[in-house]
Amino acid sequence: MGSLPFTTSDLQTSTSGVPSSPTLLCTPLMGTTVDQMFIEMRKAKEIGADIVEIRLDCLRNFNPRQDLEILIKQSPLPTLVTYRPIWEGGQYEGDENKRQDALRLAMELGASYIDVELEVAKLSVAHDFNMSISGKKPDNFKVIVSSHNFHNTPSAEAIGNLVARIQATGADIVKIATTALDITDCARIFQIMVHSQIPTIGIVMGERGLISRLLSPKYGGYLTYGALEAGAISAPGQPTAKDLLDLYNFRLIKPDTKIYGIIGKPVGHSKSPLLFNASFKSVGLNAIYLHFLVDDVAKFFNTYSTPDFGGCSCTIPHKEAALKCMDDIDHIAKKIGAINNICHRPDGKLYAFNTDYIGAISAIEDGLRELNGKAPGTESPLAGKLLVVLGAGGAGKSLAYGGAQKGARVVVANRTFERAKELADKVGGKAMTLEEVEHFHPEEGMVLANTTSVGMKPKIDETPLPKHALKHYCLVFDAIYTPKDTRLLREAKETGAVIVYGTEMLIRQGFEQYKNFTGLPAPEELFRQLMEKHA
């Protein structure tokens, strides 16, 4: 499995046979009546779609001439008419001749496009259909010939042969839809779109294929599909038109757009694309940030290795596995043993950072400065402080190493003493069990950092430390951000401690990642507004 055999320069030269034009956004209409489809058409126009796909196989009691005349002639947007049979993922189970008659009628009544399937029962439907309308096609009318594979994504050679077969039918536009078993399957579809000599729609279905839909404008796809709403998709993994336009800045994606994203499993819940795409747009940066659902980290980096892929954030469960794929690692990240920020340098090398510790430590430092009434100076306010870190996992390591680097005296407490001791020894600190922390108060004014999951949704009534023990701390930080206001923080505030929210760590580590990706300071106010709005 090699890397992608194309770069931005290929995009500019390999599609010379195809006129360059923006990728169109098509919204499928799934209504069961003509009236419902009309409501959907108006919504699609309001959202900003370019075309509507009239799915005739969704209509109950379909009357071809009457319904098509109304739907096509009164549509506020150009129409693509599809009458998908059950053998190709649709709902139509009737006579094949009647189905093709309806598509011919759609052409006669003014549809801009019709979609006809390549074959049924090894007989070429598309070729015969195109022969039947030869010489009758109106100006600006186009036939899309499609092939759907609901099992996998074949080899690049097999897909190339399929494209040739579709072209041989006389198709105006080629449509290939495959199924992603791995996110790297999308690379083969990108390759086909880039090198195709006729307009091509390339889609990889399923959640692992999402990037094929989002990056269609980058790789020269003729159109991509966006659902009216999340519950009304016409194929697996289809995003909504609203998300394409508003979340992913679909209209701003060009062949030279830089690609960033977050790798994880699961990853769809991440708000990072919201923060980064809005930030890129606000400063006019030609970049997009995506969700990457990754199963095999090494395979992902090996496949998407061109300079167009500028870097990624890294979340569970890949923070440690990704280390092995890096060419260079920041010295603190190396000590922590986990990374969350990867940059693809111009020389092709992957350089990794851990920004979690910077986000958490800087938030704690600012909290201490606020408490002491001090302006930022050269010395960290954590220097000499007793920092008690609850938990010895990834976030615990970040806090322990970060605190030690700033001159804090670190105590690591964990459910299992052995893990606490292993981490404490590495940072020159002290180890104990979580149970011991309640009665541990050698001095007043300590700093507490919780990195355990105790108190996270849904168990929001739990706390890692009883309220009476919090009176010995001047500042309490909780890495949990769902909920933002944990029981630990509420009770710490009641005892008079300064509190630092987990959302602050999340936002600040994002600032660092943005800076590493772009070389520019993050638009901090925008980050904060978006986090507050979508909390």
Catalytic residues: 148, 175, 319, 356
Taking the chain, what is the end-to-end CA distance rounded to the nearest angstrom? 40
**Residue 30 CB-density burial (10 A; 0-12 exposed, 13-18 middle, 19+ buried):** buried
DSSP 444: S
Phi and psi based region of residue 465 (left: phi greater than 0; alpha: psi -120 to 50; beta: remaining)? beta
Write out the DSSP string of 33-66: SHHHHHHHHHHHHHHT-SEEEEEGGG-SS--HHH
Q: Are 263 and 312 in contact (CB under 8 A)?
A: yes
Which H or E run includes 526? helix 524-533
Structure tokens of 193?
């779109």
Contact 115, 144 (CB under 8 A): yes
Token couple for 164: 């040739």
Yes or no: say if 238 and 229 are a contact pair by the CB < 8 Å rule. no
Which ranges of 327-481 does DSSP label H, i.e. alpha helix?
331-336, 356-372, 394-405, 417-426, 434-437
Cα(369)–Cα(373) distance, integer angstroms: 6
Q: Half-sphere exposure of residue 238, counting CA atoms within 13 Å on the CB side?
A: 20
Q: What is the amino acid identity at position 9?
A: S
CB distance 495 to 518 below 8 Å: no
CA distance 176 to 145: 9
The encoded tokens of residue 471 equal 């009176």
Q: How many CA atoms lie within 13 A of 23 on its CB side?
A: 30
Q: Is the dihedral of CA 336, 341, 347, 349 positive or negative?
A: positive
Indicate the DSSP class of residue 336. Answer: H
Q: Which residues of 99-117 are buried (b: 16+ CB within 10 A; e: fewer)?
A: bbebbbbbbebebbbbbbb
Single-letter code of the amino acid located at 498 = V
